[in-house]
């Protein structure tokens, strides 16, 4: 039986955590490395994780883009002595909400069924993308789970 | 005597390590020493009050009412920028949680290989290439992270700050990625305000002296002397500081990098963060995106603390002390480790850290809260 997001927190126990580090090759913009961690070799397909990380990188690039919209936002805010920020959500905050929704969706669809859980980087200071690896405890409540990797490939 | 488990919700700022002070339930974040900040406030508000009291009535009548109006606008802008700089999170990087710290330690160990005992392990540095320039990322032993490029650890606030510029005692806070533009605008507008007040003080004295004579003028508006003195000394320092930061912004450098000479001298022209274009650099620093705080000061967290309750009644609580995050990362001896600690570290390093955690974390033993602490308490009897 594959996990869903709620099951994972009640029946599974945490084995270890893997941390995907920041990629600073393009400067200080927020980007994560697409290098595949070896600990996840049998847990998830490379392409899926790479796709997740690439999408996140695109979101962050959109948030940090220095262009017409950010200039407008900056100048308008400056003209109002930045008081407008008390009433208005900045572009970055809007994108962060989108990212949070995306991570939730990815967890529900892809990662939880494989016994993994992504943590939003903002909760780790935007330093790492934390992936928690869970294993079924085999408690009486849940149905017996066959090997997670075989289940995921059978899908 | 019975043991009870107190589960309470606290705001995350109450448990943040580092030497910051928080006000307004976590909305305001400053350094511990605020004395010089209060002096700054006093000087600005005091001088402007004298200006509005003594000079403005005369100038509004004899020259133009726009003069005090513009002064008010400038004053409000200066205060807004000062308070924004002082009260906001400069870009503090949260410390690594134990699992992350462990993970990094294991990576370092793997990279270093076998270090013969008695020899120092190599310094913890990661090299990254940014725009064809090798940048060294240093490891922070306090925060247990490899600092991102341009980040630095502020010893006064005991935090790593992203794009660390400097710690400014005049604003009572660090200046970093998130509040650098407010700091720059503060210095710029304060310079303008100082020049404005100084100029109109002179105009006022001259105009009034023509009518009444110099000494009478000073008798009628004694505040003028004080204002002129304060403005004269402030002017040179503020204009100089604004000029210096304008120079830094045009090169996309921080004060920290300038002092260390990271991109000057033999490294001149190699700043990998600069766009090599003054306009682009200015736009990025002043009109770039507004970064959110990653600290989540006002988030709620559960805290379990076991406590013994005597039959006479609730026990007295200790004063709440901001709890430093205790990490369980195994320490690897390095040049900073005191000599007497090394043998015990070596002994504990042999025990491999167990990665398997309980589903509910083991209860920590933080200092007990006092009844004045604004938290919800629900007492759960221990079975």
The three state secondary structure string of chain A is CCCCHHHHHHHEEEEEEEEEEECCCCCCCCCECCCCCHHHCCCCCHHHHHHHHHHHHHHHHHHCCCCHHHHHHHHHHHHCCCHHHHCCCCHHHHHHHHHHHHHHHHHHHHHHHHCEEEECHHHHCCCEEEEEEEEECCCCCCCCCCCHHHHHHHC
Name the residue among B81, B100, B355 with its Cβ closest to that of A19. Answer: B100
CB of B289 within 8 Å of a chain A CB? The answer is yes
pLDDT at residue A10, as a whole number: 67
CB of B355 within 8 Å of a chain A CB? The answer is yes
Tokens standing for residue A57? 């990188």
Buried b (16+ CB within 10 A) or exposed e, B179-204: bbbbbbbbbbbbbbbbebbbebbebb
- Chain centre distance of CA B36: 15
pLDDT at residue A4, as a whole number: 65
Q: Which residues of B touch A26 (CB under 8 A)?
A: 130
pLDDT at residue B142, as a whole number: 93
Q: A54 with A64: CB under 8 angstroms?
A: no
End-to-end CA distance of chain B: 13
Tokens standing for residue A36? 């595949």
Residue B3 β-bridge partners: B308
Q: Which residues of B touch A70 (CB under 8 A)?
A: 287-289
- Residues of B involved in catalysis: 168
pLDDT at residue A59, as a whole number: 95
Residue B140 β-bridge partners: B145
Q: Which residues of A touch B288 (CB under 8 A)?
A: 64, 66, 70, 74
Per-residue CA distances from B184 to B47, B175, B288 (Å)? 21, 10, 14
Q: State which residue of chain A sits closest to B131, comparing Cα positions.
A: A26
Q: Which stretches of chain B score pLDDT less than 50?
A: 313-383
Q: State which residue of chain A sits closest to B77, comparing Cα positions.
A: A81
User: Which residue reads 């600690």 in tokens?
Assistant: B341
Name the residue among B182, B287, B359 with its Cβ closest to that of A70. Answer: B287
Q: Which helix (H) or strand (E) holds B133?
A: strand B133-140
Other C-beta atoms closer than 10 Å to the C-beta of B18 total 21
Q: Phi/psi class of residue B276: alpha, beta or left (left: φ > 0; alpha: ψ in -120 to 50)?
A: left
> Domain map of chain B by residue range?
13-92+167-239, 98-147
Q: State which residue of chain B sits closest to A15, comparing Cα positions.
A: B356
User: B289 and A16 in contact by Cβ < 8 A?
Assistant: no
User: B129 and A25 in contact by Cβ < 8 A?
Assistant: yes
Name the residue among A13, A14, A66 with its Cβ closest to that of B288. Answer: A66
Q: Which residues of B touch A126 (CB under 8 A)?
A: 294
pLDDT at residue B268, as a whole number: 62
Q: B157 with B31: CB under 8 angstroms?
A: yes
pLDDT at residue B173, as a whole number: 95
Mutation site for B-interface testing, chosen from A127, A133, A136, A137 by largest number of B Cβ within 10 Å: A127
Per-residue CA distances from B196 to B2, B67, B182, B227 (Å)? 69, 9, 20, 11
Q: B142 with B153: CB under 8 angstroms?
A: yes
User: Which residue reads 């720059």 in tokens?
Assistant: B184
pLDDT digits (tens, 9 = 90+) for B301-349: 877 777 776 655 444 444 444 444 444 444 444 444 444 444 444 444 4
Residue B296 β-bridge partners: none
User: A70 and B289 in contact by Cβ < 8 A?
Assistant: yes
CB of B180 within 8 Å of a chain A CB? The answer is no
User: Which residue reads 């710690």 in tokens?
Assistant: B167
Q: How far apart are CA B155 and CA B290, in angstroms?
A: 25
User: A70 and B288 in contact by Cβ < 8 A?
Assistant: yes
For residue B175, report the phi and psi dihedrals to the nearest 5 degrees.
Answer: -110, 120
Q: State which residue of chain A sits closest to B189, comparing Cα positions.
A: A81
Q: Is the ipTM of this complex over 0.85?
A: no
pLDDT at residue B147, as a whole number: 93
- Chain centre distance of CA B16: 14
Written as tens digits, the pLDDT of chain A (155 aa) is 455 666 666 677 888 899 999 999 888 899 999 999 888 888 889 999 999 999 999 999 999 988 888 888 888 899 888 988 888 888 899 999 999 999 999 999 999 888 999 999 999 999 999 999 988 765 444 444 444 444 444 44
- Short-list B161, B180, B159, B157, CA closest to B169: B157
CB of B163 within 8 Å of a chain A CB? The answer is yes
Name the residue among A22, A91, A130 with its Cβ closest to that of B148. Answer: A22
pLDDT at residue B146, as a whole number: 93
């Amino acid at each position: 039986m594959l996990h869903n997001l709620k099951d994972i927190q009640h029946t599974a126990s945490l084995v270890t955590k893997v941390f995907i580090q920041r990629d600073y090759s393009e400067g200080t913009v927020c980007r994560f490395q697409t290098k595949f961690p070896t600990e996840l070799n049998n847990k998830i397909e490379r392409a899926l994780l790479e796709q997740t990380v690439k999408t996140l990188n695109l979101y962050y690039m959109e948030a940090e883009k220095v262009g017409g919209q950010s200039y407008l936002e900056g100048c308008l805010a400056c003209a109002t002595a930045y008081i407008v920020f008390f009433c208005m959500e900045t572009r970055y905050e809007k994108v962060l909400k989108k990212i949070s929704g995306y991570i939730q969706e990815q967890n529900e669809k892809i990662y939880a069924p494989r016994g993994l859980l992504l943590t939003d980087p903002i909760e780790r200071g935007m330093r790492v993308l934390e992936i928690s690896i869970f294993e079924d405890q085999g408690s009486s409540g849940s149905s017996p789970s066959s090997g997670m990797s075989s289940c995921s490939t059978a899908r | 005597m019975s043991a009870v488990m107190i589960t309470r919700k606290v705001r995350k700022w109450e448990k943040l390590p580092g030497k910051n002070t928080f006000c307004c339930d976590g909305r305001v974040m400053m350094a511990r020493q605020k004395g010089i900040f209060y002096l700054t406030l006093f000087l600005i508000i005091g001088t402007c009050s004298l200006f509005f009291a003594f000079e403005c009535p005369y100038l509004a009548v004899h020259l133009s009412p726009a003069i005090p109006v513009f002064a008010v606008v400038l004053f409000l802008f200066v205060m807004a920028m000062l308070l924004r700089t002082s009260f906001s999170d400069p870009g503090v990087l949260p410390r690594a949680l134990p699992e992350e710290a462990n993970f990094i330690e294991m990576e370092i160990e793997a990279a270093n290989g076998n270090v013969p005992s008695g020899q120092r392990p190599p310094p913890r540095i990661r090299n990254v290439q940014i725009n064809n320039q090798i940048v060294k990322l240093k490891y922070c032993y306090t925060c247990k992270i490899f600092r991102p490029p341009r980040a630095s650890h502020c010893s006064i606030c005991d935090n790593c700050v992203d794009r660390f510029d400097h710690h400014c005692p005049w604003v009572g806070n660090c200046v970093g990625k998130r509040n650098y533009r407010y700091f720059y605008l503060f210095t710029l507008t304060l310079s303008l305000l100082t020049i404005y007040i100084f100029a109109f003080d002179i105009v006022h004295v001259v105009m009034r002296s023509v009518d009444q004579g110099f000494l009478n003028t000073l008798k009628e508006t004694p505040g003028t002397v004080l204002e002129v003195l304060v403005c004269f000394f402030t002017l040179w320092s503020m204009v100089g500081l604004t000029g210096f930061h304008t120079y830094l912004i045009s090169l996309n450098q921080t004060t920290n990098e300038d002092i260390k000479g990271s991109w000057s001298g033999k490294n001149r022209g190699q700043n990998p963060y600069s766009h090599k274009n003054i306009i682009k650099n200015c736009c990025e620093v002043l009109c770039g995106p507004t970064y959110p705080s990653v600290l989540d000061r006002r988030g709620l967290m559960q805290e379990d603390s076991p406590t013994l309750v005597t039959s006479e009644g609730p026990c007295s609580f200790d004063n709440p002390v901001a709890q430093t995050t205790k990490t369980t990362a195994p320490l690897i001896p390095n040049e900073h480790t005191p000599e007497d600690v090394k043998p015990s570290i070596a002994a504990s390093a042999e025990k491999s850290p167990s990665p398997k955690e309980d589903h509910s974390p083991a209860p920590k033993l933080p200092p007990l809260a006092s009844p004045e602490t604004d938290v919800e308490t629900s007492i759960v009897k221990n079975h």
